[in-house]
Structure 1
Amino acid sequence: MAHIFGLDGIHRNFKPHLLMVFAQMGYTFLYFITEASFNHGMNPHVHITYRHIVAGVVMLPFAYFFERKVRPQLTLALFVEIFVLSLLGVGLTLNMYFASLNYTSPTFLASMVNTIPSLTFVIAVVLRLEVLDLQRARGMAKVLGTLVSLVGVMTMTLYKGPIMKNLWGPLIYIQGNSAMHQDWLKGSILTVASCITWSIWYIMQAVTLKRYPAQLSLTTWMSFIGAAQSAVFTVIVQHKRAAWTIGFNIDLWAIIYAGVVCSGLIIFIQLWCTEAKGPVFVTMFNPLATILVAILAFFVLGEKLYLGSILGGVIVIIGLYVLLWGKEGDQKVHVISTEE
């Protein structure tokens, strides 16, 4: 029992948990640096294209040297599968997500993204990729945790409550975008569609990794293919050549950070955790980024924080822990089956 509670046991048992917390911290900083870049005038679709080119270039040497002996041969069928995976994770989803910013608000988007764990769980159960035994306590915990998290998301979305007072002004000031949001219905449809395709992307990762168990190489392929898909979309909707010009400013740093950390390192972490713990486990950490963003935006940027956001965040965390407890039962069953 001693080794379980030692450093080695903690590292082995909670490595996926710690990696996913790190990933959500990376996404939290992404929110602020991309907001500053977009307000500076950066086109979101150009940003998506450039950041995935950067991710592909950075990940390519690691994928080539570290996975030379384990990387399967790329067949036409497997390439088509990776193409669809890239479309769901980059080309289609991210462009719909950022396009919806023109019609809704960042707060609405951040809240809606938290429905992805519930959507992923439902899809995984339907496709029988997720074990659900309602006769056991851990099976009930997964359902209960998913429902509780969804209640927390709905609380953050629908209930504002009183504004929490900040004792000091903003430490950092990011100039807001004064653009008017004119079509809430169109923005809502784009947001919901992006959440659905995102959920399917997480599910498909688990399927593709069984046939192509090389996370670094898969991350590289998705980056390059996703960048090409995004470039085609961007050329269609953005005809100004000046939009592709990047100066030595916040736009460049946002692209480098998003490419290296988020589209490169974090996607690799998510693929590793998906193979180790499943897609539902990975998506259940998504609400942490929203909570961290709200906290930092309140204390550092001086943005408004409502009581509903705090209550919803607490409920989401409770649901997260309940579902993770249920998921640990799957891991124990897997360990027992492999030992047999």
Structure 2
Amino acid sequence: MLVVLYKGPTIISTSSMPSQSLQWPLQSTQSRWVIGGILLLIENLLISVWYIIQTQIMKLYPAEFVVTLLYGLFATIISAPICFMGESNLCAWRLKPDVELASIVYSAFFGLTFSAIVHTFGLRMKGPVYTAIFKPLSIAIAAIMSFIFLGEALHLGSVIGGVIICVGFYAVLWGKANDEGGKNEDSCKIPLLQSPSN
């Protein structure tokens, strides 16, 4: 939440690079910042719930490819009406064989299909905690990538929030590894009082 709600002073500015950000009419930058933060919070909460549900699905039906196919199909069905409401001009939906088409194919393969299969496999192998903990890390990665590739300024809130996210990420991984290590040690211990064998 610190990354989203606290912008802070600019640490590194890229004033020489042109910023190409999408502009919504009649809305200030601050209102878009807060709306984006709220939507990001809702997405992270819903993804965490989805990972818990998907872990239960994988216990009953351990077929990653089928689960991923159904996930992609239903995500398309749900998001298609929203996309057409957002862009009602049908001419904007035409695909041309250029960089846009290549980016759509790339994001469809790596952004949805490949990452969903990896997440589903991780859910089946380790459970929802390991998979869900990587989601907030993407916020810090997005802040760094937007600075490097899009030329956006790097603010103090993004840096502090990124550090908190990384520390929290490694703290959860460390705690989970110690928890699993303790369970393995307990299962190997021989009880002090054994029933005498006859």
Give TM-score scaled by structure 1 length: 0.47
Q: For 1:193 and 1:291, how far apart are their aligned partners in 2?
A: 17
Q: Does 1:280 align with 2:145?
A: no
Distance in 2 separating the partners of 1:208 and 1:223: 15
- The correspondence of residues 96-245 of structure 1 with structure 2, limited to 5 A, is 154-166=1-13, 169-170=16-17, 175-180=20-25, 182=27, 184=31, 187=35, 191-235=40-84, 238-245=87-94
Deviations 1:267-325 (A, max 9, x none): 10111111122112112112322222222322343211112211221121111111111
The counterpart of 1:295, out of the listed 132, 144, 147, is 144
Structure 1: distance between partners of 2:150 and 2:88 = 34
Could you tell me which amino acid in structure 2 is paired with residue 280 of structure 1? V
d(CA) in 2 for partners of 1:338, 1:210: 23
Residues 234 and 290 (structure 1 numbering): CA distance in 2 closer, same or farther, change over 3 Å?
Answer: closer
Distance 1:338 1:217, change over 3 A: farther
Q: Would the aligned equivalents of 2:14 and 2:152 in 1 still touch at CA under 8 Å?
A: no
TM-score, with normalisation over the residues of structure 2?
0.75
The percentage of aligned residue pairs carrying the same residue is 30
User: Is the 1:285–1:320 contact (alpha carbons within 8 Å) kept by the matching residues of 2?
Assistant: yes
Determine if contact 2:134/2:169 at 8 Å carries over to the other structure.
Answer: yes
Computed over aligned residues only, the root mean square deviation of the Cα atoms, in angstroms, reads 3.2
Could you tell me whether the CA contact under 8 Å between 1:273 and 1:282 is conserved in 2?
yes
Structure 1 residue 162, shift from structure 2 partner: 2.2
- Listed one character per residue, the Cα deviations across residues 36-95 of structure 1 (whole Å, up to 9, x for unaligned) are xxxxxxxxxxxxxxxxxxxxxxxxxxxxxxxxxxxxxxxxxxxxxxxxxxxxxxxxxxxx
Contact 2:14–2:151 (Cα < 8 Å) also in 1: no
Q: 1:333 to 1:272 in 2, by over 3 A?
A: farther
- Structure 2: how far apart are the matches of 1:328 and 1:215? 25
- The answer to whether the 8 A contact 1:219-1:267 is kept is yes
Q: CA deviation at 1:201?
A: 1.2
Q: Which runs of 4+ in 1 moved over 6 A?
A: 336-340
Partner residue of 2:171? 322
Match of 1:253 among 93, 102, 105: 102
- Structure 2: give runs of 5+ residues left out of the alignment: 190-198
Instruction: Please tell me the residue identity of whatever aligns with 1:215.
Output: E
Structure 2 counterpart of 1:161, one-letter code: G
**Count of residues in correspondence between the two structures:** 185
Could you tell me how far 1:160 is from its partner in structure 2? 2.8
